[in-house]
Amino acid sequence: MHETSIVNGIYRTLEQEFEVEKRNKMKAIYVKVGILSNIEPRLLMNAYEASHMTNPFYQNVKFNIEMVELKIQCESCDHITEVKNYRFLCDNCQKPSKNVIQGEEMLIHKVEFDD
């Protein structure tokens, strides 16, 4: 399951960004996962929870996943459309568009710390 390597990547990123003293005050991690990111939120959460066995440092850190909707920007009229049912059609001019501007990402959105 590639979600385990994603969780390990999140840990590496946090370890690069924050010193140990700051990480000791970490209380929550917020990630955004796009619908087309090929990441299953339930499996990502399971991987995070299982990682506590090998990485107790994050045992008391809450992990929050926000799903990000899929959006396209029309090449013809520049209109931004939220894609529903995988219909990649512009709401404005009804032309098809493959210009995805949101929904493929997986990013650490926010990290909360105790004061």
The pLDDT of residue 52 is 77
Q: Are 71 and 101 in contact (CB under 8 A)?
A: yes
Domain assignment present for residue 63? The answer is yes
Query: What CATH code is carried by the domain that includes residue 53?
Result: 3.30.2320.50
DSSP strand pairing (71-73 vs 80-82): antiparallel
30: containing domain: 2-68+103-113
Please provide the average confidence, as pLDDT, over all residues in the chain: 93
Domain assignment present for residue 78? The answer is no
d(Cα 2, Cα 34) in Å, to the nearest integer?
16
In angstroms, how far is CA 112 from the centroid of its own chain? 16
Give me the number of domains the chain comprises. 1
Tell me the per-residue pLDDT of 27-58, one tens digit each, with 9 for 90 and over: 999 999 999 999 999 999 999 999 877 887 88
Domain assignment present for residue 55? The answer is yes
Domain assignment present for residue 74? The answer is no
Q: Which of 67, 66, 73 is nearest to 35 (CA)?
A: 67
In angstroms, the Cα distances linking 70 to 1, 11, 36, 81 are: 24, 26, 7, 9
Domain assignment present for residue 37? The answer is yes
Burial environment of residue 44 by CB neighbours within 10 A (0 to 12, 13 to 18, 19 or more): buried
In the predicted model, residues of the chain with pLDDT beneath 70 are: 1
**Whole-prediction pTM:** 0.85
The pLDDT of residue 1 is 56
The pLDDT of residue 115 is 77
Domain assignment present for residue 48? The answer is yes
The pLDDT of residue 17 is 95
